[in-house]
Amino acid sequence: MNLLYTTKLRFMKTEQAFTRAAGRLLFPFVLMMLVLPASLSLNAQVVGQKDPVIIDRVIAVVGKYPILQSDIENQMIQFRTEIMGLAGDPRCYFLESLLVNKLLLSQAEIDSIMVTDDEAQREVENKLQNYIYELGSEENLANYFKKTILEIKQDLFKPQKENMISRRMSDEITKGIEVTPSEVQKFYKNMPSNQVPLRPETLEIREIVLKPSVSESEITRIQNRLNEFRERILKGESFTTLAVLYSEDEASAGSGGVIDFQPRSTLAPEFAAVAFNLKGNDVSRVVKTDFGYHIIQLIERRGDLINVRHILMTPKPSIEEKAAIRGRLDSISTAIREGKITFEAAAQRYSEEKDTRSNGGLLLNNGDPQNPASQNRNTTWFEPQELSREVMDAIRNLKVGEISQIFETRDANNKPVFKIISIKSRRPAHKADLKLDYPYLQSLALNQRRQDVLNDWIEKKQKSMYILINPDFRNCDFERKGWVK
């Protein structure tokens, strides 16, 4: 959860799926964008094995950015299963991906395209939560890598930030590009029959969401607690320490509540209104937003950008209120099962989730904002791995039309909610079809167009950017000529 208005990212491996589906590597640099250092790869080693020893040397330099042999070896370790399908020397393939990445990074610095530390830290937190889920607990993660959680975060931070900057640069290069319906049809028609991608099973999901209320006494308790912190800070205690100990903003608590430089538009309006009026080392009074209650301290302001730290606390619903919500949902479920009302009508009447209520609870797939080619983006269809873990658990054994058990989860503001869900429809795996899978095929055609534009940009930048390749790698059969000068 974070204070910025950003879409919650799901853990999706769309890059690999897209590569297999398209029959060739599109946007090859993207593969490098979502990776861990090899020391943090979940596939890098078997527990108990000795870590591979990599003797480092500089293999290439792009602008001011070196590419080390360990960088290449790390990618080969992490993606060793994908290496099987690569033609030629896999070291050359991964080197070229890194060359593209560093070329984008170098240009981003020239064009002043930035990613704040806070943005990168939130991405690190998102990734970390998925790795924890994969291994079962923070303790398992720490034991697996023989590092503390803090050390893992530190290892992830720099490559994550660089990858985000590279993505933004590529987005800038390819922004505004579109494909027409006739171009999509032509793209599909020209696709060899043996390369028409297989589409996985997809689902349409409806939900009914109820939100437990919070008592006035609980709100008062939270406000009093934050006022107490404010008084302690004004008397000399460390805001940073209190944020680490008590803030409920997972994205910033570990860094002492710091939210790096942000424009007003990216912050919750109530938060921004107070933060931009702070002076010196002022500590605000309690501020209410959709995320909860905050106190804020100004660190620095640079024109229209502000750097602050905050402590967030959220009032909690009582056990009795949660039980009452479960009771209401149980009654709604029973009425649907007995045929007294349809799931769609019940969602329109009872659901408290405004984003889905008017559509009868039907979920919209917003896709991965970091991957414009998300295959089901802006449709109502989801591949199983695109759904949250809680939803996946709830539908695991459901048939079309059946209703899940009641489960508790968190909304976009990290507040507890209770849900029941139902599978509206299920589409089995099949070969991509222009009628059934137009958005997907459109994304492939669009991605191809972006790739062409990016390749043209790379060809031009290769001529003007400082690029040096180690003699041992100058004979690589790179996809793009021009790396070796």
Q: pLDDT-based confidence at 254, cuts 50/70/90?
A: confident
Counting residues of the chain whose pLDDT is more than 90, the rounded percentage is 61
CATH no. for residue 63?
Answer: 1.10.4030.10
Residues 6+ apart with CB under 8 A from 273: none
- pLDDT at residue 83, rounded to an integer: 66
Mean pLDDT over the full length of the chain:
85
Distance in angstroms (rounded) separating the CA atoms of residues 301 and 314: 27
pLDDT band at 75 (very low <50, low <70, confident <90, very high): confident
Mean pLDDT of 345-361: 96
- pLDDT at residue 377 is higher than 80: no
Number of structural domains (the chain) is: 3
Among 291, 313, 335, give the residue marking a domain's end: 313
> How does pLDDT run across 300-320, given as a tens digit for each residue?
988 888 999 999 999 999 999
Residue 13 has pLDDT above 90, yes or no: no
Same domain, 27 and 146: yes
At residue 368, the pLDDT reads 65
12 close to 374: Cβ distance less than 8 angstroms:
yes
| In contact, 161 and 122? CB cutoff 8 Å | no
pLDDT, residue 485, reads 83
**For the segment 399-439, what is each residue's pLDDT rounded down to a tens digit?**
999 999 999 999 888 899 999 999 999 999 999 999 988 98
Distance CA 35, CA 163 (A): 9
Beta strands in 353-400 (DSSP E): none
Mean pLDDT of 6-31: 31
Beta bridge partners of 334: none
In the predicted model, is pLDDT for residue 382 greater than 70?
yes
Please, are residues 65 and 163 in contact by the beta-carbon 8 Å criterion?
A: no
Residues 6+ apart with CB under 8 A from 79: 31, 35, 94
pTM (2 decimals)?
0.59
The DSSP line for 308-357 is EEEEEE-----HHHHHHHHHHHHHHHHHHHTTSS-HHHHHHHH---HHHH
Tell me: do 387 and 340 sit in the same domain. Answer: yes
Average pLDDT, stretch 355-375? 78
Q: Are residues 182 and 209 in the same domain?
A: no
**What value does the mean pLDDT take over residues 132-146?**
83
CA distance 260 to 120: 10
User: Within a domain: residue 5?
Assistant: no
- Which of 246, 279, 313 is where one domain is finished? 313
pLDDT at 52: 52
Q: Using 50, 70 and 90 to split pLDDT, how confident is the model at 294? A: very high
Residue 31 pLDDT > 90, yes or no? Answer: no
Q: Is residue 91 part of a domain?
A: yes
Residue 8 within any structural domain of the chain? no
What's the number of CA atoms in the CB half-sphere (13 Å) around residue 403?
24
Tell me: the pLDDT tens digits for 148-191?
988 888 888 988 999 999 999 999 999 999 999 999 999 999 99
HSE-CB at 310 with a 13 A cutoff on CA atoms is: 35
Q: Which helix (H) or strand (E) holds 159?
A: helix 149-174
Please give the residue range of the domain that contains residue 367. 201-213+317-428
Average pLDDT over residues 65-73: 92
CA dist 158 and 143 (Å) reads 22
Work out the percent of the chain whose per-residue pLDDT is above 70: 86
Q: Which of 346, 138, 348 is nearest to 254 (CA)?
A: 138
Residue 63 has pLDDT above 80, yes or no: yes
